[in-house]
Amino acid sequence: MDKITVTGLPWAPPFAQGLVRDLRVRWALEEAGLPYEVRLIDGGERSSHEYRQKHPFGMVPAFEADGRWLFESGAIVHHIAADSEALMPPDRHDRANTVAWMFAALNTVDPPIQNLFAMDLQHGEEQWAKLRRPAAVDAVKVRLGALSAWLDGRDYLVDRFTAADVLMTTVLKFLRHTALVTEFPVLDAYVKRCEARPAFQKALRDQMADYARGAPVAA
């Protein structure tokens, strides 16, 4: 891949900082050792016809390599991983397992987590959210319990660090406002192991630095 650009937000409110999904793309690129530029785009540009040709839903991240655009963070991480042994094992069966765990992160583990995240951080004061929260927590715990059982005795989702761990870790990060991950010591250790990687640390540092530069000036 020649010139790579990733789109991100110029700023995010504190509850979302470190969660915005260009983080997982930056992390994957750091692991792969690929240089890239981040283009921070505001709401006006995200709504523009031109940007919608790159990202139909007007969100971040979008990704450009060799003049071609791609959207959806999972698809982007997969695209980067497909050419990088740092993120995708060479063995055919291990590759299939890695992809299975990438889908599991986004399609099986993420939905109940996003449900709880929205309840707590967007609707926390509403009566319906208070009533439904215990069931939403239980649904998250069912997934975390199964994931913890799988990771017990393993360092990573497949035999070694892969793109699946990039996605799973950044999905679990959406629970940081709760103690749910720490209730599962295996998961707590897994997240800490993945987040200790220099590539993650650099990606997070860079994203936070962008938000510090883009912070709204107090009136």
Ligand X SMILES: N[C@@H](CCC(=O)N[C@@H](CS)C(=O)NCC(=O)O)C(=O)O
Site residues for ligand X per CB under 6 A = 20-21, 46, 58-61, 72-74
**Residue number of the CB atom closest to ligand X:** 59
Least distance in angstroms from the C-beta of 23 to ligand X: 9
Q: Which is nearer to ligand X, 20 or 102 (CB)?
A: 20
Nearer to ligand X, 89 or 119 (CB): 119
| Helix, strand, or coil (residue 16) | coil
Q: Which residue has the tokens 């040709």?
A: 53
* Closer residue to ligand X, CB minimum distance, 17 or 97: 17
**DSSP conformation letters of 20-75:** STHHHHHHHHHHHT---EEEE--HHHHHSHHHHTT-TT--S-EEEETTEEEE-HHH
Nearest approach in angstroms of CB 56 to ligand X is 11
**Rounded least distance, CB 182 to ligand X, Å:** 23
Tell me phi and psi for residue 5, to 5 degrees.
Answer: -125, 140
Q: Decide whether 26 or 148 has the Cβ nearer to ligand X.
A: 26
CB of 131 to ligand X, least distance (A): 26
Cβ within 8 Å of residue 136, ≥6 positions away: 112, 115, 116, 119
